[in-house]
Structure 1
Amino acid sequence: MRMTTDHSGMQVYRASLLHFIQDPAFHEQAYRWHEDGLLLIADGKIVAADDYEVLKQRIPPDLQIRDFRGKLIMPGFIDTHIHYPQTDIIGSPAEGLLPWLETYTFPTEKQFSDPLHAIEVANFFLDELLRCGTTTAMVYCTVHPASVDAFFAASEARDLRMVAGKVLMDRHCPDFLQDTAESGIRDTEALIQRWHKRGRALYAITPRFAPTSSLEQMHLAGELARAYPDTYLQTHVAENTDEVAWARALFPSARSYMDVYDHYGMLRPRSMFAHCIWLDDLDRRRMADTGAAVAVCPTSNLFLGSGLFNFERADAMQVPLSLATDVGGGTSFSMLHTMNEAYKVARMSGTHLPALRMFYLATLGAARSMQLEGTLGSFSSGNEADFIVLDLQATPLLARRTARADSLEELLFALAILGDDRAVAATYAAGRCVHSRDEE
Structure 2
Amino acid sequence: MTQPKQISLGLSMRYLGYHAAAWRHPSADPDAASKLSHYARIARTAEKAKLDMLFLADGIGLRTRDEPAGALCRSHQTFELEPLTLLSALSSITSHIGLVATASTTYNEPYHIARKWASLDHLSGGRAGWNIVTSWSEAEARNFNRDKHMEYDERYERAGEFVEVVKGLWDSWEADAPVFNKESGIFFDQSKMHTLNHEGKHFKVRGPLTIQRTPQGRPLLVQAGAAEQGLEIAARSADVVYSAPLDLASAQRYYADVKGRMAKYGRHPDTLKIMPGVTLFIGRTREEAREKYNQLNALVEPELGLSYLFGQFGDLSGYPVDGPVPEPVGAAVKSMARSSFAMAQRENLTIRQLYTRIAAGFGTRVLIGTPADIADDMQEWVEGGGADGFNLCPPVLPLGLDEFVEMVLPELRARGMFRTEYAGPTLRENLGVPAPANRYSRGTV
The two structures have a TM-score, normalised by structure 1, of 0.39
Q: Which has the higher contact order (CA 8 A, sep 6+)?
A: 2
Higher strand proportion: 1
